[in-house]
Chains A and B, each alone.
Chain A
Amino acid sequence: MSAATKTDNNPAPTAIEMIKVKVDGRELEVPRLSPDWQGKLAPTTMIQVCEAAKQDVPHYCYHPKLPVAGNCRMCLVEFGTPALGPDRKPLLNADGTARIAKSPRPAIACATPVSPGMEIYTSTPGVKQMREGVLESLLINHPLDCPICDQAGECKLQEYSVDYGQSGSRFVEAKVHKPKSVDLGPRIMLDAERCILCTRCIRFTKDIAGDDKLGIVNRGSYNTISTFPGTAFDNNYTLNTVDICPVGALTSKDFRFQMRVWFLKDTKSICTSCGTGCNVHIGSREEKIYRYTPRENEAVNGHWMCDEGRLNYKWIQRTDRLRDVLVHGCKSSWGEALREIAHKLKQAPPGSVAIIGSARQTNEELWLLSRLKSRFGAISDSFPRDGQPDKLLVSADKNPNSNGARLTGISFTEAGINLAKIADGIQGGVIKTLLVFGENVVKRAVSPAALSEKETTTEAIEVHGITADVLAKLETLIVSDILPNETTRLAHYLLPGCAHAEKRGSFTSTKGRVQKFMQAVEPAGDARPEWDFLQDLVCNVTGKEGFHSIEGLFNEMAKSVPAFNGLTWAGLGETGVSVKI
């Protein structure tokens, strides 16, 4: 954690004393106190200073967001402190510089505080030798199974072996064999032989997830990570232990043996499973998504994400995705369908159009819908989607962009309050044209279990009286969605849309963080990003040329939506910008 990013996020209330230390001969000024894993001020450690000095110190057990354990010994460094005379005054060299008394013993950089004038040596022959020794010890009982190990390619043991390892093993004794393929929980598989006992997983589940389920059992070289026999490691954050495991001991059952990590394309994206907006990396190859992993963003999700959100990607690759533009059930083309829709909309009398957007759509798409809304004096709303929150990351709002829907004027303080009015309007024959984007509006009984069913992205809580019979009264029903459902089957115009992984855009989280995401894979069939065809539709209706890039569209939206004033697509950066909501 560099000092710079820290001050961005939580400016120190009082000035912290700065002290001078040297790392490999280079002097730098560091604060005497730095935020520890909880963000509380604690004496700055050597490893934090080395990081600030851009001097890499290899480590396994140390993690900036976990309590320090100091058990792997990989971060051993040599150091010295200013020598003091009998009068407690610093002794000076002949040239007037402080004489340094080099410590006879090394120290672990992760747990040793720095003091004024300290000199840290990270690249001496002694340090190199220590790293080699530590690594050799860690590898004593480690199997040589990198070719079939999921961690290969992102494994600290592999990486440090290149730097400090030996080409052959000197260990002639019998290796201790430990359990392999241990079913630790519903999503986690443990290979105990690969484990180097850094205890990152134990500390994570105890101190971050608050579920003290893991421990080290047995003794000495028989040490093994385990749960209490008969219990499962099954909280909603277990897969984070796979990320922080520096070796291939903890593996994700979902990703296990699926793809070599070096083949994966990395795309910066946002998790859409709730309103928190955890930053993710999408790992994909050849238009197929293999995994989500959390992307560090101190302002949103830190280093973590929940298992539920992480595994919620398979619906994107469902084979029954909507692929074709359909007009009254017959295959059509985008140009034709959009021209017809624009024609119908232009003829619609004021007040006869209603728009139901989705808080799963992007800010840009919702804004384009709101432009249609103001053009036709339409009534609009989106669907609320409530779930169970938790203390760490999961929000009660299961929509990724409820604030976007509100700020662009599609929904109101309470999402869903207009749905009954829309139903009445259709019943009463006032509303003749309905645009539905990304929601299955047909009222039906939904059990709470079905709501957490992650594959059905188009399910929603029913709070209104829109039934199939009501929809049948409409003159024109325009529907855009990703997966087929009852509403898409009733549509007069069906426009296939894209999952967030197939397009670019931005969401506004429950806390008002506007964050953008990038495209990982190509859309299914003839599907187009909603912002792209909505742009065409708005252009057809208004006669004004729009923007054909997401950048231009976002910047235009930012000018017209007060909450987004001053934002630019480029300015969002990789971790987003907080706005007042």
Chain B
Amino acid sequence: MSFSIPAGLEAEIDELITHYPVRRSASLMLLHAIQEHFGWVSPEAVQWTAAKLGLEPINVHELLTFYPMFRQAAPGRHQIKVCRTLSCALGGSHALHRHVCERLGLDAGAHGLQTTKDGKFSVEFVECLAGCGSAPVMMCGDDFHEGVSGKKADEILGGCK
């Protein structure tokens, strides 16, 4: 198995496990740490995590597939999150999401994270991003954009290298 966890990350993980009375309870934090490091959680990482916590891989796989913000495949370099909760939905986020998807050649109707073939962009329809007063809002990576029109979205996408 080519998969390996760097010593620094493993030390961080070992420390995380000590926060919990039961090793299993650290599962989510381990997955977060791994995703933080690798950008996604590979099947090998799931097996590693399970072995680390004395679990079966399916136990960790259940968690990984339950939470949509865990990545089961490498996402694009730029991750776009479009809010779809009430204020943004009223403010036109569905049109915005469709616009972004169509521009990038993605299927707006598909379930879950969509990534372009060249691996540059990932688009996701997400729940509240806490910018209800300036709907619709979206995030590009860690940058937060408010009152996003189609034109503004094009500019944001164009600005991504």
Contacts and interface: CB of A to CB of B under 8 A. Distances in A.
Interface of A: 212-219, 222, 226-231
Given A226-B61, A228-B57, A228-B58, 20 more contacts: A212-B59, A213-B56, A213-B58, A214-B58, A215-B61, A216-B62, A217-B61, A217-B65, A217-B66, A218-B65, A218-B66, A219-B67, A226-B58, A228-B43, A228-B46, A228-B47, A228-B56, A228-B61, A230-B43, A231-B57
A294 B144 CA distance: 61
Given A228-B46, A229-B43, A230-B43, A219 B58 contact: no
A176 to B, nearest CB: 9
A215 B62 contact: yes
Contacts of A227: 58
A43 to B, nearest CB: 25
Nearest to A216: B62
B141 interface: no
A215 B66 CA distance: 11
Given A218-B66, A229-B43, A212 B61 contact: no
Interface string B99-115: 00000000000010000
B68 interface: yes
Contacts of B56: 212-213, 228
Given A213-B56, A219-B68, A222-B111, A229 B61 contact: yes
Nearest to A214: B58
A225 B138 CA distance: 34
A212 B58 CA distance: 8
A231 B84 CA distance: 37
B27 to A, nearest CB: 13
Interface in B50-88: 56-59, 61-62, 65-68
B43 A215 contact: no
Contacts of A215: 58-59, 61-62
A386 to B, nearest CB: 31
Contacts of B66: 217-219
A172 to B, nearest CB: 18
Interface string B8-47: 0000000000000000000000000000000000010011
B68 to A, nearest CB: 7
16 contacts: A212-B56, A212-B58, A213-B56, A214-B58, A215-B61, A215-B62, A217-B66, A218-B66, A219-B66, A219-B68, A227-B58, A228-B43, A228-B47, A228-B58, A228-B61, A231-B57
A231 B59 CA distance: 13
A228 B66 CA distance: 14
Top 5 A-B pairs ranked by shortest CB distance? A228-B57, A215-B58, A217-B65, A215-B62, A228-B58
A550 B21 CA distance: 63
Contacts of B47: 228
Contacts of B67: 219
Contacts of A216: 62
Contacts of B46: 228
A42 to B, nearest CB: 23
Contacts of B59: 212, 215
B48 to A, nearest CB: 13
A227 B61 CA distance: 9
B63 to A, nearest CB: 9
B143 to A, nearest CB: 28
A486 B62 CA distance: 54
A80 B59 CA distance: 39
A214 B111 CA distance: 24
A213 B57 CA distance: 8
Contacts of B58: 212-215, 226-228, 231
A231 B57 CA distance: 10
Contact of A217 (B43, B62, B111): B62
A482 B65 CA distance: 53
Nearest to B43: A229
A11 B61 CA distance: 43
A229 B46 CA distance: 11
Contacts of A222: 111
Nearest to A206: B56
Contacts of A218: 65-66
Contacts of B68: 219
Contacts of A230: 43
B102 to A, nearest CB: 22
Contacts of A229: 43, 61
A217 B65 CA distance: 6
A214 B61 CA distance: 10
Nearest to B60: A228
B73 to A, nearest CB: 12
Contacts of B57: 228, 231
Contacts of B62: 215-217
Interface in B123-142: none
A226 B56 CA distance: 13
A228 to B, nearest CB: 4
Nearest to B66: A219
A552 to B, nearest CB: 55
B23 to A, nearest CB: 15
A124 to B, nearest CB: 37
Contacts of A228: 43, 46-47, 56-58, 61
A229 B66 CA distance: 15
A458 to B, nearest CB: 40
A228 B68 CA distance: 18
Contacts of A217: 61-62, 65-66
A122 to B, nearest CB: 34
A185 to B, nearest CB: 13
A223 B66 CA distance: 9
B153 to A, nearest CB: 28
A222 B62 CA distance: 12
Nearest to A176: B111
B2 to A, nearest CB: 16
Interface centre among A217, A226, A230 (most CB of B within 10 A): A217
Nearest to A227: B58
Contacts of A219: 65-68
A567 to B, nearest CB: 46
